[in-house]
Amino acid sequence: MNTSLTATGRKLRQATMLAAALVLLSHPARAAEEALPLPPDIARIADGPQYDECLDLLQQDADDALAFAENWEAGGGGEGAKHCAALALLGLGEAQKAAERLEALARTSRAAPAARAQVFSQAVQAWIAAQQPGRAFAAATMGLTLAPDDLDLMVDRSMVLGSMGRYREALEDLDRVLQADQNLADAWVLRAAALRHLDRIAPAIAAVERALALAPDHAEALLERGIIRQMRGDTAGARADWEQAIRVAPDSPAADLAQQNLALNEAGPSRR
């Protein structure tokens, strides 16, 4: 049974979660309006051709996947059917229902601890989409009891803590992550944002510069550096970063936020 994320899947998943964190931190109301995409590399908690078929359907049509999963579950499909149905609900924008089902499955599943931890991670994504950071924090913490060294879950929890204004606790998780792997650009971006919110601007700059040294076209890092530059009075530098964020990821939440910041700058101080 494959219970680990591929390297590509991990990067895509973290990008999805980071985008969600940016929306929560900057525009909380939008989190209730936009469901998160399905996880790019789905943790498996079952085997068999029906499970494979249902997961394949998820990537094509969430309505079809949900119908398949419900029929399968009615016929005794077990954990695989429940998992697929919950992910289909997430894909359909039913974030709260998906979160409840994913969390319940992660609690009761007979799968290996690592797989259950990844289902808790999916529940975190769903709770974020449902604009319930408290439940997201609880799900991440439960996942970490199963897999204490899971860096993805630590990053997840740090994002949720940041969205709740608990920046010092977020830094504790991020410090653990970066002690284990100093090459995670997303973690450096989140560290920069947490430090900025704590008015620790010098280390925030160092953190975002480290992120950009690792990933020069990292849209969220460019967005964050632009915010810090704006705070320091470097309007031209902020504009350059936000324009670059839009160029490298034009359809991303980071680009949306960068565009809004540019519009506020154009409007002048009276509109900020």
3-state secondary structure the chain: CCCCCCHHHHHHHHHHHHHHHHHHHHCHHHHCCCCCCCCCCCCCCCCCHHHHHHHHHHCCCHHHHHHHHHHHHHCCCHHHHHHHHHHHHHHCCCHHHHHHHHHHHHHHCCCCHHHHHHHHHHHHHHHHHCCCHHHHHHHHHHHHHHCCCCHHHHHHHHHHHHHCCCHHHHHHHHHHHHHHCCCCHHHHHHHHHHHHHCCCHHHHHHHHHHHHHHCCCCHHHHHHHHHHHHHCCCHHHHHHHHHHHHHHCCCCHHHHHHHHHHHHHHHCHHHC
Residue 270 scores a pLDDT above 50: no
16 lies in a domain?
no
Residue 16 scores a pLDDT above 60: no
- What does the pLDDT look like over 102-159, one tens digit per residue? 999 999 999 999 999 999 999 998 998 898 999 999 999 999 999 999 998 999 999 9
- The listed range with the strongest mean pLDDT (66-70, 122-126, 260-264) is 66-70
pLDDT of residue 42: 64
pLDDT of residue 57: 93
Confidence band for 5, pLDDT divided at 50, 70 and 90: very low
**For residue 69, what are the domain limits?**
1-11+33-164
Domain co-membership, 70 together with 99 = yes
The whole-number average pLDDT for the span 74-99 is: 94
Range in 17-21, 136-140, 160-164 the model is least confident about: 17-21
Domain co-membership, 72 together with 145 = yes
The whole-number average pLDDT for the span 161-179 is: 95
More confident position, 16 or 56: 56
Domain co-membership, 110 together with 197 = no
pLDDT of residue 267: 76
pLDDT of residue 74: 95
17 lies in a domain?
no
Residue 26 scores a pLDDT above 90: no
pLDDT of residue 45: 81
Residue 87 scores a pLDDT above 60: yes
Given 164, 182, 208, the domain boundary residue is 164
199 lies in a domain?
yes
Total structural domains within the chain = 2
The whole-number average pLDDT for the span 76-98 is: 94
Residue 271 scores a pLDDT above 60: no
Domain co-membership, 156 together with 182 = no
Given 108, 139, 164, the domain boundary residue is 164
Domain co-membership, 145 together with 174 = no
> What CATH number is given to the structural domain containing 84?
1.25.40.10
Residue 27 scores a pLDDT above 60: no
Range in 28-37, 183-192, 237-246 the model is least confident about: 28-37
Given 164, 189, 208, the domain boundary residue is 164
Range in 45-54, 74-83, 223-232 the model is least confident about: 45-54
Domain co-membership, 154 together with 225 = no
